[in-house]
A = this chain, B = another copy of it.
Amino acid sequence: MRNGPIENCARRLEVRLVRRRWMAAFALLAFPCFLGAQHTDDSKPAVTNVRAAEYPRVHADGRVTFRVKAPTAQKVQVQPGPAAGEPSGLGAGRFDMVRDKDGVWTVTTPPAVPGFHYYWLLVDGVEVNDPSSETFFGYNKETSAVEVPEPGVEFYLPKAVPHGEIHEHWYHSGITGEWRRAAVYTPPGYDANPRTRYPVLYLQHGGGENVTGWPRQGRMNFILDNLIAERKAQPMIVVMETGYAFRPGEKPPAAGAPQVAHSTLEDVIVTELIPNIDASYRTLADRDHRAMAGLSMGSRQTLQITLTNLDKFSYIGAFSRPPAADFDATSAYNGVFHDAAAFNKKVHLLWMGAGTTEHQIHDSAKASHEALDKAHIKNVFIEFPGTAHEWQTWRKALYDFAPRLFR
């Protein structure tokens, strides 16, 4: 590489001596600098990159070029995050990177399915984050990701419309004995209209994720801002809590045990979170103005919690519900579907959706939909073409689900 600021920057990535102008060296230390100064192609740095990182780069046709400087490694690969046992939209398997003489490793993937894709680097077989990527909490740890834009699709991008705000809301749980943090979205106009009260959607993340999932991976605030600005959705408060809650001494479910809706979480949500939210925000605190939805593990929790607490919820959304073998509409959830007329009167919306390429989940959700139809239970089934068990499915699910609420 030429001897210029970029090469010097790249050198500092390796050499942790602190020079005399320590402040500059300090700030640039390990700066995922401008690896490869010239780009004559149509690629752009991914929006999921850390500030000023040039890689990964996304091409107009959806190919992704990953690059990392690791001169002392023997082998570096890109590992897409697993997506419920089926290929992620980034790729079905690992991508081997190729090393150049300066120890810079590169690979360009085939065109990826648009959307948000978790990934890691494997450095000599050890799964680590890409220093060029922001981290997102998934798989129970901080994980790298790359965002591949979908041409013509803008509903989750920030636009020149009024914006809501996501609040970090701390409260103490007597049940778990710990401080818990919920993310709460208040809609545009919330502060300007201090006498207005709003309906509430409780929105849950998937297994291995946390409260930052819907804001950061899901971009739920932009999705709601845009829907509200277009008058397609009612202004609403959205509460996002962690889908894990354990009493002191309780352990996370053992390896191999299915991720069932844990009863402790149900207790926290119903007896602690809802009253706390109703006391802290200007909510419409009745079942006609309270919805719940979730993705994957969050959708199982949603079904478990709402269908057994119909005095509290009247809108239900199950996004990519894990396969439910032998779903029996007459007996499921303590027989809640047994009296179809009563159920249809009580519940304003029962919504299920899945991407068409998360085959197992899609087929199971469709089968449940048909079983519910057969039992005369009013329900909605929406499928999203070409998306897998990934965030592009769940953004689209929220985009379809939210306008149906509170009408």
B residues less than 8 Å from A168 (CB atoms): 165-167, 215, 221
Q: Are B50 and A140 in contact (CB under 8 A)?
A: yes
Q: Are B29 and A139 in contact (CB under 8 A)?
A: yes
B residues less than 8 Å from A134 (CB atoms): 142
B8, B127, B259, B281: the one within 8 Å of A255 (CB): B8
For residue A128, CB closer than 8 A to chain B, the reply is yes
Q: Are A172 and B160 in contact (CB under 8 A)?
A: yes
**Residue with the greatest number of chain B CB neighbours at <10 A, chosen from A12, A82, A258:** A82
**Residue with the greatest number of chain B CB neighbours at <10 A, chosen from A79, A127, A281:** A127
Q: In the complex the two chains form, what is the Cα distance from A272 to B194 in whole Å?
A: 26
B50, B52, B124, B129: the one within 8 Å of A73 (CB): B124
B8, B53, B296: the one within 8 Å of A256 (CB): B8
C-beta contact mask, A307-338 vs B, less than 8 Å → 1, else 0? 00000000000000010000000000000000
* The stretch of A17-25, A285-293, A339-347 that contacts the partner chain: A17-25
Measured CB to CB, the nearest residue on chain B to A160 is B172
Q: In the complex the two chains form, what is the Cα distance from A28 to B131 in whole Å?
A: 24
B residues less than 8 Å from A141 (CB atoms): 30-32, 50, 53, 131-132
B residues less than 8 Å from A30 (CB atoms): 127, 139-141
Q: Are A253 and B24 in contact (CB under 8 A)?
A: yes
For residue A385, CB closer than 8 A to chain B, the reply is no
Q: Are B207 and A26 in contact (CB under 8 A)?
A: yes
- Supposing A85-B18, A140-B28, A142-B134 touch, asked if A297 and B23 sit within 8 A by C-beta, the answer is yes
B residues less than 8 Å from A259 (CB atoms): 23-24, 27
Count how many chain A residues have C-beta atoms less than 8 Å from C-beta atoms of the other chain.
83
B12, B52, B165, B244: the one within 8 Å of A167 (CB): B165
The 5 closest A-B pairs by CB, nearest first: A72-B125, A27-B207, A128-B128, A194-B194, A5-B254
Q: List 18 other contacts, CB 8 Å, given A18-B85, A72-B125, A168-B221.
A: A8-B256, A16-B82, A22-B84, A23-B84, A23-B258, A23-B322, A26-B207, A26-B208, A27-B208, A29-B208, A32-B140, A32-B141, A50-B142, A124-B124, A131-B142, A132-B141, A158-B179, A167-B168
Measured CB to CB, the nearest residue on chain B to A131 is B141
For residue A405, CB closer than 8 A to chain B, the reply is no
For residue A404, CB closer than 8 A to chain B, the reply is no
B residues less than 8 Å from A179 (CB atoms): 158
